Amino acid sequence: MFEQSNYVLVTSFVAGVVMGTCITYGYRNFRPLLSGSCGFNNKLVLVVRNDLGMSKGKIAAQCSHASVECYKAAVQYKPQIAKMWQITGQKKIVLGIESGEKGLTELSKLAKSHKVLSCIISDAGATQVKAGTTTVIGIGPDNSDIIDKITGHLRLI
């Protein structure tokens, strides 16, 4: 059916197609790394209101809500940054703020002025805080240097 020379030709062709596809896929998905447009230095910052006296578990739940919402927004509006954040370990930092709802609103405005995504989380009111109470803001994921300009004055919780 196949002569030896045809077998070598077909095998070489198939190997070339497979390698070309792999190279194209890799380049397309890692192009931001090569161009430096997103870089490795990305993070998501979660800022928790300290004035509410939430338990550690409540804080964890609210931060989880903020992480998911920020990631969903990043996938929609900044897909390359979302992909790089995911590939590079999904760095997250949790900070506290003393100035309550006003502080979260100011951080949101500051993030917007730097063209960084942010999501403010309001509680459903089923456990520790009243329904509609803002609890956490997620900022990013985005370039760490830009996020530090927004949240660098805050302390870890």
- Could you identify the residue written with the tokens 């979302």? 82
Q: Answer yes or no: is pLDDT of 11 > 50.
A: yes
Q: Answer yes or no: is pLDDT of 35 > 50.
A: no
Beta-ladder partners of 106: none
DSSP state of 8: H
pLDDT tens digits along 98-114: 999 999 999 999 999 99
Helix (H) or strand (E) holding 52: none
Q: Does domain 38-156 have CATH number 3.40.1490.10?
A: yes
Please tell me whether residue 137 adopts helix, strand or coil conformation.
Answer: strand
CA 89 vs CA 9, 81, 85, 141, 148: distances in Å: 43, 12, 6, 12, 18
Q: State the average pLDDT over residues 5-32.
A: 63
pLDDT band at 125 (very low <50, low <70, confident <90, very high): confident
Q: What is the mean pLDDT of the chain?
A: 87
pLDDT for 3:
62
Which amino acid, one-letter code, is at 15?
A: A
